[in-house]
Amino acid sequence: MNRRVLIFATLVALPSVAASQRTRSQADKRTELFDKDSSSRQAQTLRVRDVEDQSPIKCLIDKRKDLKLTDAQLSQLKDSEGKLKDKNAPLLKAVDSLGRDLRSATSSQSDEARSRARNARMGLMTTLGDIRANHDASAKDAVAALDPDQQSKATELLEKQKQEMEKLLQERLGGGRGEHH
The mean pLDDT of 54-83, rounded to a whole number, is 95
Does the pLDDT value for residue 40 go beyond 90? no
- Residue 136 pLDDT > 50, yes or no? yes
Record the pTM: 0.69
What class is the 55-173 domain?
mainly alpha
Note the pLDDT of residue 170. 86
Tens-place pLDDT, residues 89-126? 999 999 999 988 888 888 788 888 889 988 998 999 99
Of 22, 32, 3, 41, residue with least CA distance to 173 = 41
Whether the per-residue pLDDT at 35 is higher than 60: the answer is no
Burial (CB count within 10 angstroms: exposed 0-12, middle 13-18, buried 19+), residue 56: buried
In the chain, where are the structural domains located? Answer: 55-173
pLDDT at 17: 55
Please name which of 142, 167, 163 lies closest in space to residue 153, comparing C-alpha atoms: 142
| pLDDT above 70 (res 44) | no
Share of the chain above pLDDT 90, in %: 50
